């Protein structure tokens, strides 16, 4: 069982201000929740480019190799000569290669999304349903060296409409 302090905000600017103040106070493991994607929130957390790119690249490469290998293998396992044309025919096989590049790339991106975002997350975590409607929240998990009152004070001073302790 862990305890977190959660502050709810009506306004985006208050929410971002609270996140920045908490960061300045040395609290780095913030969870910021919002009903829409906010680039400023990502900036506060220092989120740059995503590791999902590697999944996409690896998936696409595996797909390309598999596509060409599949077409080549099937052509070689049953030789069908047509007018003296090549058995391993590059132009048509490139079409199969292309399609499988995309197929594997897409599937790898889906896997990457789950791995990088940590979803599915079935375990209970601090959450307020209003953050999927019209409010924003900052949540800090309490631990050593984290004073709940001080965190709550910072949130309130930034404009939190509700500060509560959540146990999950």
- Which letter, b or e, does each residue of 59-79 get, where b requires 16 or more Cβ atoms within 10 Å of its Cβ? bbebbbebbbeebbeebeeee
Q: Nearest to residue 167, comparing CAs of 6, 4, 32, 29? A: 4
Query: According to CB under 8 A, which residues from 37 to 56 bind other proteins?
Result: 37-38, 41-42, 44-45, 47, 49-50, 52-53, 56
Binding other proteins by CB under 8 A: which of 62, 65, 69, 96?
A: 96
Which residues contribute to the site for other proteins (CB under 8 A)?
10-14, 31-38, 41-42, 44-45, 47, 49-50, 52-53, 56, 70-71, 73-75, 77-78, 80, 82, 89, 92-93, 95-96, 98-100, 102-103, 105-107, 109-110, 112-114, 116-123, 125, 127, 129, 131-134, 136
């Amino acid at each position: 069982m862990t305890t977190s302090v959660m502050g709810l905000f009506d306004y985006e600017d208050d929410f971002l201000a609270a996140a920045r103040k908490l960061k300045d106070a040395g609290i780095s493991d913030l969870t910021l929740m919002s009903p829409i994607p906010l680039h400023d929130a990502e900036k506060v957390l220092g989120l740059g480019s995503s590791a999902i790119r590697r999944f996409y690249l690896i998936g696409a490469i595996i797909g390309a190799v598999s596509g060409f290998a599949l077409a080549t293998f099937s052509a070689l396992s049953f030789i069908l000569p047509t007018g003296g044309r090549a058995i391993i025919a590059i132009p048509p096989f490139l079409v199969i290669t292309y399609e499988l590049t995309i197929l594997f790339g897409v599937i790898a991106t889906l896997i990457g999304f789950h791995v990088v975002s940590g979803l599915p997350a079935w375990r209970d975590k601090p959450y307020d349903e209003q953050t999927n409607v019209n409010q924003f929240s900052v949540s800090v998990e309490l631990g050593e060296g984290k004073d709940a009152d001080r965190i709550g004070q910072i949130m309130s001073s930034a404009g939190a409409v509700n500060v509560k302790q959540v146990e999950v």
